[in-house]
Structure 1
Amino acid sequence: MAQQGFLLIADITGYTMFLTRSELDHAQGILDALFKSIFAEIKPPIILSNLQGDAALTYLPDANLPQRQFPLDAIERIYCSFANTLGAMRLNTTCTCNACRNMNQLDLKFFLHHGTYATQEMAGRTELQGAEVIRLHRLMKNSVTAATGIKAYTLVTEQAADAIGLPDFFAGAIRHVENLGEFGETVCYVYDLAPIFALWRATRRVVVQHDEPLAFESMECDLPVPPAIAWAYVTDIEKKIRWQHGIDRMTMTGLARGRIGLGATQHCAHGKDSTVHDIVDWRPFDYVTWHIHLPMGAIVRQMAELTPLENGGTHLSLRCAKPEGPNPVATAVVRTITRLAMAKKLVSDQRASKVALERLVDEETAAFT
């Protein structure tokens, strides 16, 4: 049966040269670690079809898309896992064999397309079929690196870019055209993944530890969806406003070319008042941390942490640290006000939010089953 959705290939650059110029036993160990770093991040709602030598073919039906920017977040997460693993091996090896020297030539690139495809079960695997699947494979033989000098990249076809619907983001990417014979010219957008990994490594971690004092009780709940889908409920304001009690309206500013991420700000209106929530740490599908601005220069660190469960679901922990700030006296005043005047309502709203979130996820999950 034909379906509409995203088709994604993750392809290791330099794979063939690496194998032919390296000792096989060492080369296999290096490639095994790199493939594990890729497969560890191919999780629902992304579905693995098969491994094709140096490339993994995956797909994502439209019905399973949790939010518009999800394909880009997922690609960048996979790349950071790969690059971090490769970097650790480079740093920790003292071996001088060809394989250990040649792994510097390895990298990872992605090809993202959107269109119609069919699935067929063959030998225990889900094979993808259709003209758009062929088009995607043809794009792997391209002139991107020759034209741009970029080695680690994401190539997104115009069809996939339109399906994602973030024109500001793709306006900042490199427009690239490949002539694919019978498919004609295929317009694509290319962006460099190396700066994404550099930012991932350099960004300071801002968290709320499980054992540190909290402003009020945390919200703990198990959701019957994988972390990548649960992530949308805590980061997408269109979903969040449907379960977050005590808030009338939500808006976002500071988007990075249309995408939510580090540096974006969530504005929450409740009656005549409003609060500003700055995203200060952004680890898609793991956790997000906000600084909530309070009077007298104080802030509260709020963290939403997602932990995968053995049953395929997700445990969500939403925690708020006690108010903090540069002025000890002002901070003490704000902490007292929070404890005496606000804590009861905050706890009440949080408990109601938990019930609303669990109900919303249950309802939407049931609608797709």
Structure 2
Amino acid sequence: MAQKGFLLIADITGYTMFLTSSELEHAQGVLDALFKSIFAEIRAPITLSNLQGDAALAHLPDGNVPQRQYPLDAIERIYCSFANTLAAMRLNTTCTCNACRNMGGLDLKFFLHHGEYAVQTLAGRSELQGPEVIRLHRLMKNSVTKATGIRAYALVTEPAADAIGLPDFFAGAIRHVEHTDDFGDIVCRVYDLAPVFAKWRGSRRVFVERDEPLAFESMEVDLPVPPAIAWAYVTDVDKKIRWQQGLDGMTMTGLVGGRVVPGAVQHCAHGKDSTVHEIVDWRPFDYVTWHIGTPMGTVARQTAEFTPLADGGTHLSLRSAKVESANPLAQAFIRFMMPLAAAKKLAETQRASKAALQRLVAEDTKLAAPTAA
């Protein structure tokens, strides 16, 4: 049956040269580790179709997309996993064989398209078929690196960029036109992934640990959806307002190119009052940490952590640390002034939010489930 959605190829750059100029046994070990780093991050709601030599083909039906920026977050997460694995191998090896010397020539690039395709099962394997699948494969032989000098990139076709719907973000990407014999000129947007990895690697970790003192009890809940879907319920303000109790409204500012990034701020309205939640650590789809503004310049760290479960679901842990400040007097005063009754009220609100989240996810999951023929 035909469906519409995103088609994604992750392709290892330098694969053929690496294999032909390296000892096969060592080269295979390097490639196995890199492919594992890619496959580990191609998770639901993305589905891996097959491995095609040096490339992995996957798809994501429109109905399974949790957030507009999800395809970009997923690509960047896969790339960071690959680049981190490669960097670790290069750093830790003392081997002088050709394979270990040639690792530096490897990298990863992505091709993202949107259109109609069909999924057919042949000999127990899932195969994607249709003209749009062919169109995407034609883009793998391209002039991007020659034209831009970029080796690690995401090439997003115009239909895919339109389907994502972040015009400000793509306005900042490089416009590239690739000519093909079969499909003519294909307009694309290209952006460099190397700075994404550099930023990811250098960013400061801000986290509420499970064993540190909390302002009130944590929210611990198992949700019957994969981490990327659970992530959307917590980080997307349109979804969060549907289950977060005690709020009259929620908006977000500080987006970059329409995307949520560290530094973005959730503004939560409570009657005449409001609180500000600034994102200070953003690791899709593992955890997000906010600094919540509290009186006298103090802040409260809050972390939402997403742990995949064996059944395909997610354990969500939402933890709020006690208020803190660089000013020890302000920190001590605010902690002293926060009475037990306030902590009790916050805990009650959190329990009500947990119940509302469970109901919402259950309802949405039921609505999304395919009906029997």
- Supply the AA of the counterpart residue of 1:263: G
Q: In the alignment, what sits opposite 1:194?
A: 194
Q: Are residue 255 (structure 1) and residue 255 (structure 2) matched?
A: yes
Matches within 5 A, 1:262-301: 262-301=262-301
Give percent identity, aligned residues only.
77
Q: In the alignment, what sits opposite 2:368?
A: 368
- Supply the AA of the counterpart residue of 2:120: Q
Q: Distance in 1 between matches of 2:14 and 2:180?
A: 22
- Supply the AA of the counterpart residue of 1:157: T
* Structure 1 residue matching 2:263: 3-state secondary structure: coil
Q: In the alignment, what sits opposite 2:331?
A: 331
Moved more, 344-353 or 356-365: 344-353
Would the aligned equivalents of 1:215 and 1:339 in 2 still touch at CA under 8 Å? no
Q: In the alignment, what sits opposite 2:211?
A: 211
Matches within 5 A, 1:171-250: 171-250=171-250
Q: Distance in 2 between matches of 1:339 and 1:320?
A: 16
Would the aligned equivalents of 1:111 and 1:140 in 2 still touch at CA under 8 Å? yes
Q: Deviation of residue 327 (structure 1)? A: 1.6
Query: C-alpha offsets along residues 74-103 of structure 1, whole Å, 9 cap, x if unaligned?
Result: 000000000000000000111111111111
Q: Distance in 1 between matches of 2:305 and 2:342?
A: 24
- Supply the AA of the counterpart residue of 1:255: L
Q: Are residue 125 (structure 1) and residue 115 (structure 2) matched?
A: no
- Supply the AA of the counterpart residue of 1:36: K
Query: C-alpha offsets along residues 191-238 of structure 1, whole Å, 9 cap, x if unaligned?
Result: 000000000000000000000000000001000000011000010000
Measured on the aligned residues, the alpha-carbon RMSD in Å equals: 0.7
Q: Deviation of residue 336 (structure 1)? A: 2.3
Q: Distance in 1 between matches of 2:10 and 2:36?
A: 13
Moved more, 191-200 or 93-102: 93-102
Query: C-alpha offsets along residues 249-271 of structure 1, whole Å, 9 cap, x if unaligned?
Result: 11111111110011111111110
Q: In the alignment, what sits opposite 1:165?
A: 165
Q: Distance in 2 between matches of 1:348 and 1:40?
A: 37
Q: Are residue 47 (structure 1) and residue 69 (structure 2) matched?
A: no
Q: Deviation of residue 339 (structure 1)? A: 3.4
* Structure 1 residue matching 2:332: 3-state secondary structure: helix
* Structure 2 residue matching 1:232: 3-state secondary structure: helix
Q: In the alignment, what sits opposite 1:109?
A: 109
Matches within 5 A, 1:31-180: 31-180=31-180
Moved more, 188-197 or 173-182: 173-182
Would the aligned equivalents of 1:111 and 1:155 in 2 still touch at CA under 8 Å? yes
Query: C-alpha offsets along residues 42-96 of structure 1, whole Å, 9 cap, x if unaligned?
Result: 1000000000000000000000000000000000000000000000000011111
Q: In the alignment, what sits opposite 2:26?
A: 26
- Supply the AA of the counterpart residue of 1:34: L
* Structure 2 residue matching 1:140: 3-state secondary structure: coil
Q: In the alignment, what sits opposite 1:317?
A: 317
* Structure 2 residue matching 1:25: 3-state secondary structure: helix
Q: In the alignment, what sits opposite 2:351?
A: 351
- Supply the AA of the counterpart residue of 1:131: P
Q: Deviation of residue 337 (structure 1)? A: 2.7
Would the aligned equivalents of 1:215 and 1:338 in 2 still touch at CA under 8 Å? no
Q: Distance in 2 between matches of 1:216 and 1:339?
A: 12
- Supply the AA of the counterpart residue of 2:253: T
- List runs of 5+ in structure 2 lacking aligned partners: none
TM-score of the superposed pair, with normalisation by structure 1: 0.99
Would the aligned equivalents of 1:297 and 1:326 in 2 still touch at CA under 8 Å? no
TM-score of the superposed pair, with normalisation by structure 2: 0.98
Query: C-alpha offsets along residues 110-166 of structure 1, whole Å, 9 cap, x if unaligned?
Result: 000000000100111110000000000000000000000000000000000000000
Over 3 Å off, 4+ runs:
none
Matches within 5 A, 1:6-17: 6-17=6-17
* Structure 2 residue matching 1:216: 3-state secondary structure: coil
Q: Distance in 1 between matches of 2:355 and 2:333?
A: 32
- Supply the AA of the counterpart residue of 1:333: F
Moved more, 237-246 or 178-187: 178-187
Q: Distance in 2 between matches of 1:257 and 1:359?
A: 33
Q: Deviation of residue 183 (structure 1)? A: 0.9
* Structure 1 residue matching 2:339: 3-state secondary structure: helix
* Structure 1 residue matching 2:169: 3-state secondary structure: helix
- Supply the AA of the counterpart residue of 1:249: G
